[in-house]
């Protein structure tokens, strides 16, 4: 009986040790660590330089719309519903995601007649004129495929626009004479222009990482400098098309913009070739109609003008972008000897 009790006690001790050992060898749950959200560097603003010049076209000329320069700064996305009410997409697509950015613009455009050696100039040819301006723009992208753009430009037309000095300085660098007929340019006049554009982007993949899209647009401008309505369409083929809506241009033109959305990039490199057309119904063009309040040189403008543009764009991430553009423009005034043509080079780069 005593031996039986000893066996029972030994068995109980062994079972207890086994349970304790099992408890010691069982996996210990790891402490839970809160995962930090992925941090994305805030998007920086972007500068864009635009140079349009008839000297950049095949068979360079020096006439009509002869030179345009524009420098712009596009902000990073702006939070909040600021100025939403300015755009129709706020009300037509109230539940769609929206991104807003603002833009500062500074630029100059220069116009001359075909024969710059005549003194006085040919009264049936385009007058000498310059347009120096600055302004603000406001963008709203809706649902990542629709873009509204509102822009207000203020400036001066006439000698204070410094067109004679800029063209003269450039000609001096090339060893060319500056026309003495700038004394006959349009008189000084304050200029104002309010513009609105609306674009859609309709895309389709075509295999691999390539895609094609179409960007129809409508809009217009009002003011004593330009007043017109516009309709246009651009078609593009390439990679990473969703990052923008085409190359930036100087008004009036097939109106690409400086807009760039790096969140839509799929891979570091993007490029596309493009072609587009735009038609404008023009009520006022101060550079053809002449000054608003005093007598000045003028010609009879064409009420309907069309542009055909083509070119290519290349960009690396959102760091830098290069646009090459060629434009053919139909006759703008009665008696114009042939359509205008000019080239453009754009360079965009983001801030560090």
For 220-237, write each residue's pLDDT tens digit: 999 999 999 999 999 999
Residue 9's pLDDT is what? Answer: 40
Burial class (CB in 10 A: 0-12, 13-18, 19+), 31: exposed
Q: Cis peptide before 126, with omega less than 30 degrees from 0?
A: no
Sign of the dihedral defined by the CA atoms of residues 112, 59, 226, 125, in that order: positive
Query: Reduced to 3 states, what is the DSSP secondary structure of residue 339?
Result: coil
pTM for this entry:
0.86
Domain spans of the chain? 43-350
Residue 15's pLDDT is what? Answer: 40
The overall average pLDDT reported for the chain is 88
Residue 207's pLDDT is what? Answer: 87
Pick the CATH number of 43-350 from 3.30.870.10, 3.40.50.300, 2.70.160.11, 2.40.128.140: 2.40.128.140
């Amino acid at each position: 009986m005593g031996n039986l009790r000893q066996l029972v006690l030994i068995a109980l001790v062994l079972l207890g040790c086994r349970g304790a050992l099992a408890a010691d060898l069982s996996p210990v749950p790891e402490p839970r660590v809160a995962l930090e959200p992925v941090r994305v560097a805030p998007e920086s603003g972007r500068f864009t330089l635009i140079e349009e010049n008839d000297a950049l076209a095949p068979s360079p000329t020096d006439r009509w719309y002869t030179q345009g320069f524009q420098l712009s700064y596009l902000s990073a996305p702006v939070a909040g519903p600021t100025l939403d009410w300015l755009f129709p997409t706020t009300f037509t697509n109230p539940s769609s995601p929206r991104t807003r950015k603002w833009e500062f613009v500074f630029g100059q455009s220069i116009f001359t007649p075909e024969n710059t050696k005549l003194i006085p100039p040919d009264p049936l040819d385009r007058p000498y004129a310059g347009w120096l301006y600055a302004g603000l723009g406001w963008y709203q992208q809706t649902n990542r495929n629709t873009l509204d753009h509102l822009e207000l430009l203020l400036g001066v037309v006439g000698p204070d626009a410094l067109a004679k000095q800029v063209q003269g300085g450039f000609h001096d660098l090339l060893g060319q004479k500056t026309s003495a007929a700038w004394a006959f340019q349009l008189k000084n006049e304050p200029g104002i222009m309010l513009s609105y554009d609306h674009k859609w982007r309709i895309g389709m993949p075509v295999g691999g990482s390539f895609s094609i899209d179409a960007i129809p647009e409508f809009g217009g401008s009002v003011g004593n400098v330009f007043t017109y309505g516009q309709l246009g369409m651009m078609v593009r083929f390439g990679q990473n098309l969703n990052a923008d809506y085409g190359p930036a241009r100087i008004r009036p033109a097939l109106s690409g913009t400086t807009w760039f959305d790096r969140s839509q990039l799929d891979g570091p490199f993007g490029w596309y070739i493009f072609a587009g057309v735009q038609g404008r119904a023009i009520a006022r063009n101060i550079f053809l109609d002449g000054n608003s309040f005093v007598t000045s040189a003028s010609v009879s403008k064409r009420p309907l003008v069309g542009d055909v543009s083509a070119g290519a764009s290349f960009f690396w991430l959102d760091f830098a972008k290069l646009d090459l553009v060629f434009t053919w423009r139909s006759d703008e005034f009665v008696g114009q000897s042939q359509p205008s043509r000019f080239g453009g080079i754009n360079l965009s780069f983001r801030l560090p």
